[in-house]
Amino acid sequence: GIQVEQSPPDLILQEGANSTLRCNFSDSVNNLQWFHQNPWGQLINLFYIPSGTKQNGRLSATTVATERYSLLYISSSQTTDSGVYFCAVLGSNDYKLSFGAGTTVTVRA
Amino acid sequence: KAGVTQTPRYLIKTRGQQVTLSCSPISGHRSVSWYQQTPGQGLQFLFEYFSETQRNKGNFPGRFSGRQFSNSRSEMNVSTLELGDSALYLCASSLNGYGKNIQYFGAGTRLSVL
């Protein structure tokens, strides 16, 4: 299956700071999603972004499919942004999402 | 439109027992997938159902099984529970499970095996 690597594994930010999370994947994909896992465990959809750039408020994401990576940007971070961020991909001939190990973000007030 | 609903949210069982978890997908979605999340192994695929048929299965023992009903609701069952089955079980629904379909996840069922 597709290998997904996320970096960094941990990120500690001061409130108001900006950050970039990276997701590398090993093969072409039909689907790439970014999720935020809340403290209760639910995976909240942030972006569906197999290619291109999208923005939603303080969050934006870019996927460069030809180079097999995606970036998630968090601007003006808030304490509510804390949690684990997952990148997940579905390969061209695949039936299951392959997840990265996640980036744990801690935003301090 | 209601999201993906998983019940129960929390379960405590003892070794050797069996457990059944339920997942109701978003209306109109026909694919339901199940994932297990543990601190050591991360998120791992269990199986996927589409139109009452198991289409795909991950690398889990036969103690893990599931089914899907005609209304697309799905259940997964774990028999002869082991301590290592303690995990967060997440279900995801999508229109048809393949290709460019967004997957939506439920809140999960947290299973503790004592």
pLDDT per residue as tens digits for the range A49-103 = 999 999 999 999 999 999 999 999 999 999 999 999 999 999 877 888 999 999 9
Task: Give the closest residue to B93 by CA, choosing from B71, B113, B78, B110.
Answer: B71
Query: Quick one: average pLDDT of A19-40?
Result: 94
Can you give the pLDDT at residue B100? Answer: 75
Using the beta-carbon criterion (under 8 Å), do A35 and B105 form an inter-chain contact? Answer: yes
Q: What is the pLDDT averaged over residues A20-38?
A: 95
- Say what the pLDDT of residue A55 is: 98
Confidence of residue A23 (pLDDT cuts 50, 70, 90): very high
Distance from CA of B78 to the nearest CA of A (A): 20
Within 13 A of B83's CA, how many CA atoms are on the CB side? Answer: 1
Overall average pLDDT of the B3-28 stretch: 97
Q: Are A4 and A24 in contact (CB under 8 A)?
A: yes
Q: Which chain B residues are Cβ-neighbours of A88 within 8 angstroms?
A: 43, 103
H/E stretch holding B46 reads strand B42-50
Nearest to A47 by CA among B103, B43, B36, B3: B103
Query: Does B57 lie at the interface with A, CB-CB under 8 angstroms?
Result: no
Q: A37 to chain B: nearest residue by CA?
A: B107
Mutate to test the interface with A, among B9, B11, B38, B45 (most CBs of A within 10 A): B45
Tokens found for residue A96: 């299951």
Query: What does DSSP say about strands B10-13 and B109-113: parallel, antiparallel, or unpaired?
Result: parallel
A31–B105 CB contact, under 8 Å: no
pLDDT of residue A40: 87
Dist. CA B6–CA B21, nearest whole Å: 8
User: What's the pLDDT at A68?
Assistant: 97
Which residues in chain B are closer than 8 Å to A31, comparing Cβ atoms?
A: 99-103
**CA-CA distance, A64 to B59, in Å (whole number)?**
31
The pLDDT of residue A1 is above 90: no
Q: Does B92 touch chain A (CB under 8 A)?
A: yes
Displacement of CA B34 from its chain's centroid (Å) = 3
Q: Is the pLDDT confidence value at B82 over 90?
A: yes
* pLDDT value at residue A39: 86
Does any CB of chain B come closer than 8 Å to the CB of residue A67? no
pLDDT in tens, B5-17: 999 999 999 999 9
More confident residue, B2 or B91: B91
Per-residue pLDDT for B88 more than 90? yes
**B85 within 8 A of B16, measured Cβ to Cβ:** no
pLDDT for B32 equals 96
CB contact under 8 Å between A96 and B100, yes or no, is: no
Measured in residues, chain A has a length of 109
pLDDT at B98: 74
